[in-house]
Amino acid sequence: MNLCGYYPESINEGEGLRAAVFISGCRHRCRGCFSPATWNFSYGEPFTLDRQDEIIRDIAGNPLLSGISLLGGDPFFSADEVSGFLDRLYEQAGPVNVWAYTGYTFEELTADPASAEYGLLRRCHVLVDGRFEEKLRDPSLRYCGSSNQRLIDIPASLAGGQVILWKPALTF
């Protein structure tokens, strides 16, 4: 697995101040993607355990963070490896709020509870789902790029057996 970007602090990829971790590789190839270079699974640097530890230390040492956001590429194409990173993060940093961005829909990710993708989903709190649709692009939307994409409260949705949209805690 490769890391194609890391921002220790960002306000663009989810609610509050978040660390943004960009995972290389995506097969969705959405037309109008803002970062097509990240489709390549070899793009960026190897996301070694040492590099993961550096990022985990950054996150654990920053009391201002609201959590982290996983982006890409698409982290769900490397679900096993990203799950391992999150397990290490939780072990070393304690509870951390995790947002994940994907071109998959919630329904696709929950179709097989034995899948690696479902395992990653269960480790996260908010899912920004759906492929970017250039014809539905809407820069006024919070935290997503096109109007078909949803911000989903993962724990509530899994518990309720249906999609429950995330509600912001912060108001602007």
CATH number of the domain where residue 60 is located: 3.20.20.70
> Is residue 154 in some structural domain?
yes
> Is residue 166 in some structural domain?
no
Predicted TM-score of the model (pTM): 0.96
> Is residue 104 in some structural domain?
yes
- Residue-wise pLDDT for 94-137, tens only, equals 999 999 999 999 999 999 999 999 999 999 999 999 999 999 99
Three-class SS state of 77:
helix
* Structure tokens, 40: 């390549």
DSSP 8-class letter at 114: T
Q: Which domain holds residue 144?
A: 2-160
> Is residue 172 in some structural domain?
no
- Residue-wise pLDDT for 131-159, tens only, equals 999 999 999 999 999 999 999 999 999 99
> Is residue 75 in some structural domain?
yes
> Is residue 47 in some structural domain?
yes
> Is residue 96 in some structural domain?
yes
Question: Do the beta carbons of residue 73 and residue 23 sit within 8 Å?
Answer: yes
How many domains would you assign to the chain?
1
> Is residue 102 in some structural domain?
yes
Rounded to an integer, what is the distance from CA 38 to the centroid of its chain? 14
